[in-house]
Amino acid sequence: MRLPDPITFILLVSCVLFLGCSSESKSEKSTNEVILGKVELANGWARPAAKGQTSSIYLVITNGTASRDTLLGASSPISDVVELHQSIQHDDGTISMEQAGNQVIAAGEKLNLEPGGYHLMLKNINRELTVGDSLSVTLNFARVGSKTITVLTKTQQN
Amino acid sequence: MKNTAIKLLIAFSTAIILASCNSGPEPLYDLSDTSYPLRNIDSSRVYFPDDFEGEISVISFIFTHCPDVCPAITANMSNIQRGLKDTTDIQFIEISFDPQRDTPSVLKAYKKRYKLNDQFTFLTGQPETVDSLLKKMEIVAVKTFSDSLVQDSSNYNMRHSNTIYLMDKNGRIRAEYPASVIPPEHVIEDIQSLRNL
Ligand SMILES: [Cu+2]
């Protein structure tokens, strides 16, 4: 096999770079290339729950892009209602849960969804979730659009 | 006559002081004089705290429609159990403050879902009975509705205390902790000192 001569090689590379940078490009998936960094979803897990009951999902959202982004909402095939909630501790020591509004995540910052704080609440789930089951959830951001993560059902250990 | 009264008074005070020295610091709540008829997950009648006397109890309060904090409380109870080298004479009790929805069978499913063993007892009961027990133990549980205009009678959340109690062998509450966040070691340490009383 013959290697391409240097000029052809440079032309090829430029072509690839040009295509990658062009937001007009229709070739394959261009969304990842137009963003400098990424919004990443990691460490996701869900709580077990019976069909018709409520589960919650925890995960870490990292905004690795150069601009702030806003979490607008979420959806999942397992529930018609997926809401971002926050558990709040009151002065008298009691705890309640409230729907949290859209969350702005600054560039380079994280939003932690963890027990006792923020969580995605899935109401009236359409199948049972037992330990080991997986499910997917899609988060919608103002800038980067939707991001999907598959999470496992487990019980909290710590 | 007056002398006898004074003697009696002294004897009585000494008895009280001795009794309290015998059993450590003053209890937070003494439940030993009342018994509350509740239901176990197989619907059988359980008297609380009578049926649990003779062993140390770790007690928490939950509702199973709670998707965030209550599972964290249950997980912490489980962590305390796992952290104990010796779990003899210890029992774990979770009392529902939502008897309207937490029937014995709902609690049975919850116990199974979280893979808890027979050292765990889940209790529910008649709303009035549960309410008077909660009042006695100063546990707060109030229904909250996400839409204040539509107060759907079965679709509600709850604002509630976040409490674990440690009850001694005689039905007296000895310590209280913030249930979902207390490091298990703290509770385990107190269990050890209760054992040594
Ligand atoms: Cu919630």
Domains and CATH numbers, chain B: 2-195 (3.40.30.10)
A73, containing H or E segment: strand A69-75
Domain-located, residue A11: no
Residue-level pLDDT at A156: 82
Centroid of ligand 1 to alpha carbon of A98 (angstroms) = 7
Q: For residues A109 and A103, is the Cβ–Cβ distance under 8 A?
A: no
Any idea which of A101-115, B31-45, B62-76, B151-165 has the lowest mean pLDDT? B151-165
**pLDDT band at residue A36, thresholds of 50, 70 and 90?**
low
What is the share, in percent, of chain B residues with pLDDT greater than 90?
73
B21 is in an annotated binding site: no
Distance from CA of A62 to the nearest CA of B (A): 22
Domain-located, residue A16: no
Count of domains observed in chain A: 1
If DSSP codes are grouped into helix, strand and coil, which group holds residue B9? Answer: helix
Average pLDDT rounded to a whole number, residues B9-30: 56
Give the chain A residue nearest B184 (alpha carbons).
Answer: A158
The boundaries of the domain holding residue A132 are 39-153
Any idea which of A1-5, B22-26, B190-194 has the lowest mean pLDDT? A1-5
Average pLDDT rounded to a whole number, residues A83-94: 94
CB contact residues (below 8 A), chain A span 67-86, against chain B: 85
Output B130 or B17, whichever has higher pLDDT. Answer: B130
Residue-level pLDDT at A12: 47
Cα distance between residue A32 and residue A37, in whole Å: 8
Mean pLDDT score across all residues of chain A: 83
**pLDDT tens string B27-72:** 889 998 889 999 999 999 999 999 999 999 999 999 999 889 999 9
Q: What is the CATH number of the domain that holds A58?
A: 2.60.40.1890
Centroid of ligand 1 to alpha carbon of A57 (angstroms) = 10
Cα distance between residue B176 and residue B171, in whole Å: 14
Q: Do B67 and A54 touch (CB under 8 A)?
A: yes
**pLDDT band at residue B159, thresholds of 50, 70 and 90?**
very high
Residue-level pLDDT at B125: 97
Q: Do A157 and B71 touch (CB under 8 A)?
A: no
Pure H helices in chain B: 2-22, 69-83, 104-113, 127-136, 184-195
Which residues of chain B does A116 touch, with a Cβ-Cβ cutoff of 8 Å?
68-69, 72, 180-181
What is the share, in percent, of chain A residues with pLDDT greater than 90?
72
Residue-level pLDDT at B148: 58
Centroid of ligand 1 to alpha carbon of A49 (angstroms) = 13
- Asked whether the predicted pLDDT for residue B11 surpasses 70, the reply is no
Cα distance between residue B114 and residue B97, in whole Å: 19
What is the share, in percent, of chain A residues with pLDDT greater than 70?
77
